[in-house]
Structure 1
Amino acid sequence: MVAVVVVLITVVAAAALVYSGVRQTRIVVGAEPTGQVVSEGLFGANHRYPFDAFGSLTPGGEPQQGLVASAQSAGISMLRYPGGTVANTFRWNRAIGPREDRGCQTGGGDGAPLDSNIGPDEHMALVEQMGAETTMVVNFATATPQEAADWVSYMNAPVGTSPWADLRAEHGHPEPYGVKWWEVGNEPDVGDQAYWMEQDPTILPTEHPERAHKYAYGGTTEFNDQPLTTDCDRRTDAQISDGSPGQVRQVPYAPVAPDPRVMVDGDVWRRVPTLDGAGPDDTVYTLDLETGEVRFGDGVHGSVPPEGSRLTVSYTSGPHAGYVDFVRAMKEADPDIRVCSSYQGGPFLEAIGQDPAFDCQVSHPYTWIVSPMNAAQTHDHVMMGSDWQAAHVAREQAEIRRTAGRDIPLLVSEYGASPVPGFQTWEEPGGDYLTSVSPALYVATQLAAFAEGGIPAALKHSLVDVPDDHNGDSTSTNLGSRNVAIFSSSPDFAPSPTALVLQMLSPLAGQEVLESTVENGPRRVSAAGQYGALVTLATRTGDNLTLTVVNRDLERDVEAELTLPDGYRRGEVATLDAPHFDSVTDVGIVTDTLSFDADTPRRVFPAHSVTTMTLKKVSP
């Protein structure tokens, strides 16, 4: 389940920076590697396909060069496609080939119709120009393991080994894309993304472990009085008949077990094998049990549902395949890929146990922001949330290892500090808090924990901001709130402070992690709780050692002694510099040379800052 941290601050109290004891704060860096290496995949972003991928591609499907340059500067290493909630019902094979021949998409939220302008090939053109990799989310809600396996073949099979690979070559890309990471669905543990698994989406996963078992191994679900909508538009209002002859409708979650009940304004109509012999007043329909397609009469052969009537269906959905079926089909297409479960939490782990099909797991460790909080209170809430979420991910790793009996990669395919989607009462403190330095400190804290924990990939939500011409709702387009993105919207694609943090930390990719600890570190105490001011990450490559220090206190500098391995005294320092913790403008990276001549070097780390010190080992 998406981990939620909610702190409602109702008392405004003075915050303080409190030191433990009277000793000097000390940062200690060990000389021996921990065995972890900073994965290149940590510096990724969740991305979404609608609206020309949020304007990241031109209307003609070409990557926007301004975004490519900004992403390269920040070191963006991985993009997720086709997104999160919007990916749940995405039909990939409708989004390839000539654009004029492509089919419709249906948003995974309220089911609004979307176009297929940005398909896998357009997405990969953006990825390749950035010099990045990708992770892809397959449709678990309305597709099949075979459809997912065909997608793997389209992306990864060599020409001549699969008709899908040959089709990819016809579309202009003979070489396989080589997509390694795949996810089966997006957040199926969340009620409104349960789809065929749950009749009542308000039931929490912990209250209904049967849903986790269905996700793991498949099954059936009975639905009563479900809207009978169309293939492209599955919003509730689409169940209303427009009175036209020959209406074609879609049962939401095919296949359909025998003996369904299709109703028009509550009256049950009769299923027939063909409309050819029906009279004009016969209240009949045809239904393809495999595809879920329903056809009504044209007024000559079969009656037309009256205009304004409500079309519904009661039926048993299934049998559906489960995660393990997707894994086996997809890995048969390419044994070298990793296929991740996206069902988070203990119920899935209990259901899957030590099944050898369990290949990798997804986590979405968000810190959610809820009213009422001002900017300073929000900062403290978010910093505490970063610690909670880092610990949560570590617990997830341990629980997966314990349950599965082996190491299973944990992919963080979405994370960030964000207002709850659709939570209308929250207003951004200061107007621009989410684009300020404070969320950038959150990202730096998370990346340090992910690097130390051996996370293979982490994708900040999201790459590009909500288009300026959209009001930013949380419907099927899943646009969410503004200002949570790494870059502003088209055409500027201006870097946020978070982009600057990624620019500072992405060069650490490939470096081995060293143990680093903060001794006697100060803690910021606020009305909501307390947290350590300093977070560190130490890495090494060759003769270079980099110490990253995040000072999360919003107003106080921290001086610390540095205990470093022998020989590291000189190098360069870079600091994310800003006037205030909630600054949006006047934020930059300041660089300088660095020399430690004292036996016990010290360094002052400014308030609300990220500092990287890269030291070269010098022989005595």
Structure 2
Amino acid sequence: MAFSRLSRSGLSCLLVAGPLVAVVATSASAADPEQPVVLVRSTQQQAPVSPYLTGTNNDQWFRNSHGLWDPSSGAPNPDVVAKTRRSGLGMVRYPGGTSANLFDWKKAIGPQDRRGCQTDGRSNGGDGSLDSVFGPDEYMKFVEAAGVEPEIMTPMSNGTPADAADWVEYMNAPVGSNPRGGVAWAQRRADNGHPAPYGVKFWEIGNEPDRIPSQTYWRSTDPKVAARQYAFGGSQVQVAQQVARGCDRRPAASTSDGTAGQEFGVLYPPAVPGSQTVRVGGVAWTPVADLSTAGPDDRVYTFDPATGAIRFGDGVHGAVPPAQSVLRADYTAGPKPGFVDFYEAMKQADPSIDVCATWAPVTSASGLNDPSFAELMAQAGRADDYDCVAIHPYTNFRRDFGDPDWETAREGHDEHMLGEANATRLVRDLMADVAKNSTGGAYVAISEFGALWFGGQRDVSSYPSWQTAMSHATYMASQWARFADLGLPWVMGNTLISETSDGLRAVLGGPPAYVYTVDATVREQLAPVLRAGGRSVQTSLFENPQVVPVEPEPAFGTSYDALAATAMVGADGNLRVLVVNRHPDQAVTAKVVPAGFRHTGRVAVSTVAGEDFTSYNGIGNPGDVQLERTTAHVGADDFEHTFPAASVTVLELHPA
């Protein structure tokens, strides 16, 4: 799109090639034809602006969610609550992502001494058996104290549609109602101390089911097969799979300890009856209906296909598996339910909720460019049987750029910015796919995003603060600008708190300090913009400076835009312009043209910027990057503003 400015008798006209737009504004002089211009067409409204754009994942619920919950007081940590409120977070997800994929909510309600253990959903059983202290009621106490919107990820790999529907009832049904019969879950909630319904509107089914191979669980590793299994359910052969001991799925739990009467279980019940082969130390043992008739040396076991339970003898009735022998099982898992089954049951429990699918691949290896979830649903005649699709459009430095490390901090900054454009494209493509195939008005949402390594990096000593520095903050702010323009109704990025004080990309770092990071500071800056309501308006950038990466990345282009911008007209009538300068070391002076918006000539300016793109807030330097607010008088028309290097700026104009 071409842009030029003509000046005659104190008037200036913006001429935009493409759809004809003529904007007339007074100006003292002609602009430099190479000067960057932020053109805000204030009368060309786009999507509603959501207050839930700056949500966050609550990555791990166990161990008191890294100190978010204080079990001694039975209340959320007041420091975390205060900082969450200050940051203006829109939404917090529970119980989290990968580690919560096998979470059982029914074990996490009621008196603490009656709660059960949880199974870690991470690869190889993660940390083993996990606690249930921070359950749904504790989560909602935090939600209510912090003033955020709740969103729940409902596990599906081991859960059932009935379990998910029961959870919806527990959270949302009024006392005295029992929409599906059976247990009166609303009364159970009241008995646990909260008579009023929580009213959780947003739910998603599963976490990253397309992630290959770590989160396929019972499904096939072929993404084409797995996509259909996610959508519609089915069965899948499991070969030489380790077994579990109670909630523990670590490899050591699949080893006999030599004691009598040991009980294990297959990982993904139910199993097709008769499909199992159980091996002890590589030798297949024989299934029997009853151990009581077995002799002391008989290598036998009983198997319950409904629960997956495997029980061995006590040395009198059936042999004991020798100590240190490894147990493995072949079996067919299934039939297992799919998204459609969960959706139907949950909507029966509460038709007003939004239930999101989560099959949204971001690479070819995980199913991108194969038939999509929306396509499969349309082909099955179920194009309106989902409310939304949630995607995780992470920038993964190792996957996307093939780098095991960064030689310089500047390389890390450049990869943030190049990756941001690709992440936005993934979201746009998914939106187009859903719009094409859905007949029920389904939308796209984001329950995780950010830029990270996902482990495996050799050395990032050249940029140790990368995960909480201005580079990451400008990446996030650029994404929020895009997502506002796209009209996403809710978005959650990074994680609220992490395991350690300098934990991975956490909004509040981790215990014990809970540092108010640059990420939190930018969220605080944007909160009043998003909470002002209104709609985004068409915003264009001309003569946008280009930044050339220090390391060529041909797959991502030869340069990236220095500026990213969007604007909103709030319900209060004010125009707010968000501009992110991603240039690592150069300020950019741009002409801001609020076309069609007559303003008072006074602009309120909020800026987040450090000394350079590596600046961050840490335990020893908690105030290095702060939110600065100023006021400027700029005249009643377009005006110039200088945006510092690696900064986030909001300009607020009041109508004349």
How far the C-alpha of 1:563 sits from its partner, in A, is 1.2
How far the C-alpha of 1:22 sits from its partner, in A, is 4.8
1:27 matched to 2:38:
yes
The answer for the alignment partner of 2:62 in structure 1 is: 50
The answer for the alignment partner of 2:611 in structure 1 is: 579
The answer for the alignment partner of 1:4 in structure 2 is: none
Query: What is the distance in 1 between the residues matched to 2:142 and 2:69?
Result: 8
What amino acid does structure 2 have at the position aligned with 1:578? Answer: G
Among 91, 96, 109, the alignment partner of 1:78 is: 91
Deviations 1:447-490 (CA, angstroms, capped at 9, x unpaired): 0111110111111111002235xxxxxxxxxxxx9331111212
The answer for the alignment partner of 1:539 in structure 2 is: 568
The answer for the alignment partner of 1:12 in structure 2 is: none
1:589 matched to 2:602:
no
| SS at structure 1 position matched to 2:415 | helix
How far the C-alpha of 1:227 sits from its partner, in A, is 1.1
Question: 1:81–1:136: 8 Å Cα contact kept in structure 2?
Answer: yes
With the length of structure 2 as denominator, give the TM-score of the two structures. 0.86
What amino acid does structure 2 have at the position aligned with 1:172? Answer: G
The answer for the alignment partner of 2:11 in structure 1 is: none
Judging changes above 3 Å, is the alpha-carbon distance between structure 1 residues 153 and 306 closer, same or farther for their aligned structure 2 residues? same
The answer for the alignment partner of 1:11 in structure 2 is: none
Task: For 1:262-301, list aligned pairs within 5 A.
Answer: 262-301=278-317
What amino acid does structure 1 have at the position aligned with 2:328? Answer: T
Among 551, 557, 560, the alignment partner of 2:581 is: 551
Task: For 1:314-393, list aligned pairs within 5 A.
Answer: 314-345=330-361, 346-347=370-371, 348-353=373-378, 355=382, 356-370=384-398, 371-373=404-406, 374-393=408-427
The answer for the alignment partner of 1:37 in structure 2 is: 48
Task: For 1:149-298, list aligned pairs within 5 A.
Answer: 149-162=165-178, 163-190=184-211, 191-198=213-220, 201=221, 205=223, 209-259=224-274, 260-298=276-314
Query: What is the distance in 2 between the residues matched to 1:171 and 1:598?
Result: 59
What amino acid does structure 2 have at the position aligned with 1:195? Answer: Y
Question: 2:42–2:569: 8 Å Cα contact kept in structure 1?
Answer: no
The answer for the alignment partner of 2:498 in structure 1 is: 465
What amino acid does structure 2 have at the position aligned with 1:58? Answer: D
Query: What is the distance in 1 between the residues matched to 2:112 and 2:635?
Result: 64
Query: What is the distance in 2 between the residues matched to 1:406 and 1:603?
Result: 44
| SS at structure 2 position matched to 1:365 | coil
Question: 2:81–2:146: 8 Å Cα contact kept in structure 1?
Answer: yes
1:62 matched to 2:75:
yes
Query: What is the distance in 1 between the residues matched to 2:262 and 2:462?
Result: 49
Query: What is the distance in 1 between the residues matched to 2:637 and 2:249?
Result: 69
How far the C-alpha of 1:406 sits from its partner, in A, is 5.1
Question: 2:387–2:441: 8 Å Cα contact kept in structure 1?
Answer: no
Query: What is the distance in 2 between the residues matched to 1:125 and 1:50?
Result: 16
Deviations 1:233-260 (CA, angstroms, capped at 9, x unpaired): 1112211100011101011110011211
| SS at structure 2 position matched to 1:41 | coil
| SS at structure 1 position matched to 2:548 | strand
| SS at structure 2 position matched to 1:148 | helix
The answer for the alignment partner of 2:15 in structure 1 is: none
Query: What is the distance in 1 between the residues matched to 2:78 and 2:461?
Result: 31
How far the C-alpha of 1:80 sits from its partner, in A, is 0.6
What amino acid does structure 1 have at the position aligned with 2:645? Answer: A
The answer for the alignment partner of 1:442 in structure 2 is: 475
| SS at structure 1 position matched to 2:293 | coil
Query: What is the distance in 2 between the residues matched to 1:567 and 1:84?
Result: 46
Deviations 1:384-422 (CA, angstroms, capped at 9, x unpaired): 1112211221111011111224531111000011112x3
Question: 1:66–1:491: 8 Å Cα contact kept in structure 2?
Answer: no
Query: What is the distance in 1 between the residues matched to 2:80 and 2:210?
Result: 33
How far the C-alpha of 1:599 sits from its partner, in A, is 4.9
What amino acid does structure 2 have at the position aligned with 1:596? Answer: V
Task: For 1:400-479, list aligned pairs within 5 A.
Answer: 400-405=434-439, 407-420=441-454, 422-467=455-500
1:517 matched to 2:540:
yes
Deviations 1:534-557 (CA, angstroms, capped at 9, x unpaired): 111111122311111111101111
| SS at structure 2 position matched to 1:280 | coil
Deviations 1:125-149 (CA, angstroms, capped at 9, x unpaired): 1111001111111111111111111
1:312 matched to 2:328:
yes
What amino acid does structure 2 have at the position aligned with 1:567? Answer: R
Question: 2:562–2:582: 8 Å Cα contact kept in structure 1?
Answer: yes
The answer for the alignment partner of 2:431 in structure 1 is: 397
List gaps (5 residues or longer) in structure 1: 1-20, 469-480
What amino acid does structure 2 have at the position aligned with 1:573? Answer: V
Moved more, 399-408 or 542-551: 399-408
Task: For 1:133-148, list aligned pairs within 5 A.
Answer: 133-148=149-164
1:122 matched to 2:138:
yes
Judging changes above 3 Å, is the alpha-carbon distance between structure 1 residues 535 and 416 closer, same or farther for their aligned structure 2 residues? same
With the length of structure 1 as denominator, give the TM-score of the two structures. 0.91
| SS at structure 2 position matched to 1:613 | strand
How far the C-alpha of 1:82 sits from its partner, in A, is 0.6
Question: 1:66–1:492: 8 Å Cα contact kept in structure 2?
Answer: no
What amino acid does structure 2 have at the position aligned with 1:395? Answer: D
Query: What is the distance in 1 between the residues matched to 2:461 and 2:427?
Result: 27
How far the C-alpha of 1:383 sits from its partner, in A, is 0.8
What amino acid does structure 2 have at the position aligned with 1:35? Answer: Q
Moved more, 529-538 or 52-61: 52-61
| SS at structure 2 position matched to 1:189 | coil
Question: 1:155–1:176: 8 Å Cα contact kept in structure 2?
Answer: yes
List gaps (5 residues or longer) in structure 2: 1-31, 179-183, 362-369, 399-403, 553-557, 618-623
The answer for the alignment partner of 2:509 in structure 1 is: 488
Question: 1:137–1:183: 8 Å Cα contact kept in structure 2?
Answer: yes
Deviations 1:584-615 (CA, angstroms, capped at 9, x unpaired): 14211111112112754111111111111111
How far the C-alpha of 1:424 sits from its partner, in A, is 4.2
| SS at structure 2 position matched to 1:128 | helix
Matched residues, percent identical? Answer: 39
Query: What is the distance in 2 between the residues matched to 1:223 and 1:46?
Result: 31
Moved more, 167-176 or 133-142: 133-142
Higher relative contact order (CA 8 A, sep 6+): 1
| SS at structure 1 position matched to 2:390 | strand
The answer for the alignment partner of 1:616 in structure 2 is: 654
Query: What is the distance in 2 between the residues matched to 1:543 and 1:147?
Result: 46
Question: 2:386–2:440: 8 Å Cα contact kept in structure 1?
Answer: no
Task: Give the root-mean-square deviation of aligned CA atoms.
Answer: 1.6
Query: What is the distance in 2 between the residues matched to 1:419 and 1:43?
Result: 22
What amino acid does structure 1 have at the position aligned with 2:63? Answer: F
